[in-house]
Amino acid sequence: MIDDASHYRWLAACFARGTLGRYVDDDTAIAEAERAGLRLHRFKRAAELPRVRAVLGTLRGLAPASLLDVGSGRGVFLWPVLDALDGVRVTAIDVQPERAAQIAAVARGGVDRLAAACMDGGRLGFGDGAFDVATVLEVLEHVADPAPVAAELMRVARRAVVATVPSHEDDNPEHVRVFTADSLRALFETAGARRVTVDGVRGHLTAVAMCHD
């Protein structure tokens, strides 16, 4: 059941409208989406996950007007950010076309401050300092060479980059590396950060890399 207690219902309705091309109220959009077999459980609430809560707290402190999220995937972090940080303009990218298209459907269905694109994090098509803050959340452990991604993030962010990674090995076959606090800090220092703060949160590391300006 898609309700407000368990899901970001308003975002599920936006996805339904944007996918079906039917610009109706939330209840009707969700009912039609369920009849059409659309998967709405990707909008399950995740804000109470410790790593998500930590990121939301950091972003509230930074108070960006614009944010780039690299590797948005299924939206585990993206939906809580959109829900909690009202007014922030978010550009979400993913290297997988299907996932980028799903995010674009949410934007099309009623989230005017959201934009989406299919793009490689190591080759970002944005100008220097295009965003107040950039995030890369549970992405770097999937990347064979994270250095170009970190460099691009530092280039396009005016103020800070926020990153999260697992802090230990797990059984996910898509994870190709494990970071330590030192290696995560070094990654962003090499990319040009003036200061990097790394904290641990229940099986994960979170890093805040401050830009030069």
Per residue in 43-93, pLDDT (tens digit) is 999 888 899 999 999 999 999 999 999 999 999 999 999 999 999 999 999
Residue 149: predicted pLDDT:
95
Residue 113 has pLDDT above 70, yes or no: yes
Mind giving me the DSSP string for 17-75? HHHHT----HHHHHHHHHHHT---GGGB--TTSHHHHHHHHHHHHH--SEEEEE--TT-
Identify whether residues 89 and 162 lie together within a single domain: yes
Identify whether residues 93 and 170 lie together within a single domain: yes
pTM over cut 0.85: yes
Residue 203 has pLDDT above 70, yes or no: yes
Identify whether residues 106 and 185 lie together within a single domain: yes
Phi and psi torsions of 44, nearest 5°: -60, 140
What total number of domains does the chain contain? Answer: 2
Range of the domain at 182: 46-210
Identify whether residues 113 and 38 lie together within a single domain: no
Q: What CATH code is carried by the domain that includes residue 88?
A: 3.40.50.150
Identify whether residues 94 and 121 lie together within a single domain: yes
Identify whether residues 16 and 75 lie together within a single domain: no
In a domain, 3, yes or no: no
Identify whether residues 130 and 196 lie together within a single domain: yes
Identify whether residues 21 and 115 lie together within a single domain: no
Identify whether residues 23 and 123 lie together within a single domain: no
In a domain, 4, yes or no: no
- What mean pLDDT is reported for the chain? 92
What percent of the chain lies above the pLDDT cut of 70?
Answer: 95
pLDDT digits (tens, 9 = 90+) for 139-188: 988 788 999 999 999 999 999 999 999 886 666 565 557 789 999 999 99
Identify whether residues 181 and 91 lie together within a single domain: yes
Residue 141: predicted pLDDT:
83
| Residue 202's pLDDT band (cuts 50, 70, 90) | confident
